[in-house]
Amino acid sequence: MKLTGNTILVTGGTSGIGRALAEALHDRGNRVIVTGRRQPLLEAMSLARPGLVGLALDVDDPASFARFTATLRAHFPELNVLIANAGISRTEDMTRDAWTADDAEAIVQTNILGVVRVAAAVLPLLKGKADAAFLATSSALAFVPRADFPTYCASKAFLHSWLQSLRHQMRHVPIEVLELSPPYVQTELTGAQQASDPRAMPLPDYVAEVLQMLEDGRTPRGEVLLDRDLPRRWAERDGKYEALFSAMNPG
Ligand SMILES: NC(=O)c1ccc[n+]([C@@H]2O[C@H](COP(=O)([O-])OP(=O)(O)OC[C@H]3O[C@@H](n4cnc5c(N)ncnc54)[C@H](OP(=O)(O)O)[C@@H]3O)[C@@H](O)[C@H]2O)c1
Domain CATH number, residue 189: 3.40.50.720
Give tens-digit pLDDT for 105-127: 999 999 999 999 999 999 999 99
38 lines ligand 1 (CB under 6 A): yes
| 33 in a structural domain | yes
State which ligand 1 atom lies nearest to the alpha carbon of 14.
43
Average pLDDT over residues 91-97: 98
Rounded distance, CA 148 to CA 31, Å? 39
pLDDT of residue 226: 98
pLDDT of residue 205: 98
Residue 240 CA from chain centroid, whole number: 27
14 lines ligand 1 (CB under 6 A): yes
User: Which position among 152, 184, 206, 241 bears the catalytic label?
Assistant: 152
| 216 in a structural domain | yes
**27 Cα: distance to centroid of ligand 1 (angstroms):** 21
Average pLDDT over residues 186-212: 98
| 74 in a structural domain | yes
The residue length of the chain stands at: 251
Mutate to test the pocket of ligand 1, among 10, 14, 107, 205 (most ligand atoms within 8 A of CB): 14
| 168 in a structural domain | yes
Which residue from 154, 151, 157 is spatially nearest to 104, judged by alpha carbons? 151
Q: How many independent structural domains does the chain possess?
A: 1
pLDDT bracket for residue 224 (50, 70, 90): very high
**238 Cα: distance to centroid of ligand 1 (angstroms):** 31
| 37 in a structural domain | yes
Q: Do residues 217 and 113 make contact, with C-beta atoms less than 8 angstroms apart?
A: no
Strands 53-56 and 81-84: unpaired
Cis peptide before 174 (omega within 30 of 0): yes
**172 Cα: distance to centroid of ligand 1 (angstroms):** 31
**189 Cα: distance to centroid of ligand 1 (angstroms):** 6
pLDDT of residue 86: 98
109 lines ligand 1 (CB under 6 A): no
The count of C-alpha atoms lying within 13 angstroms of the C-alpha of 107, restricted to the half-sphere facing its C-beta, is 22
**103 Cα: distance to centroid of ligand 1 (angstroms):** 15
pLDDT bracket for residue 146 (50, 70, 90): very high
Which range marks the domain in which residue 136 is found?
7-248
241 assigned to active site: no
| 2 in a structural domain | no
Average pLDDT over residues 155-181: 98
pLDDT bracket for residue 194 (50, 70, 90): very high
Paired strand residues for 8: 32, 81
110 lines ligand 1 (CB under 6 A): yes
pLDDT of residue 1: 94
Q: Do residues 52 and 76 make contact, with C-beta atoms less than 8 angstroms apart?
A: no
> What residue ranges in 14-80 does DSSP mark as E strands?
31-36, 53-56
Rounded distance, CA 251 to CA 238, Å? 22
* DSSP-derived secondary structure letter, 184: S
Distant-in-sequence, close-in-space partners of 4: CB < 8 Å, separation ≥ 6:
28, 29, 30
Q: Do residues 186 and 195 make contact, with C-beta atoms less than 8 angstroms apart?
A: yes
pLDDT of residue 18: 98
| 192 in a structural domain | yes
Q: Do residues 103 and 154 make contact, with C-beta atoms less than 8 angstroms apart?
A: no
| 237 in a structural domain | yes
The greatest distance separating any two alpha carbons of the chain, rounded to the nearest whole angstrom, comes to 55
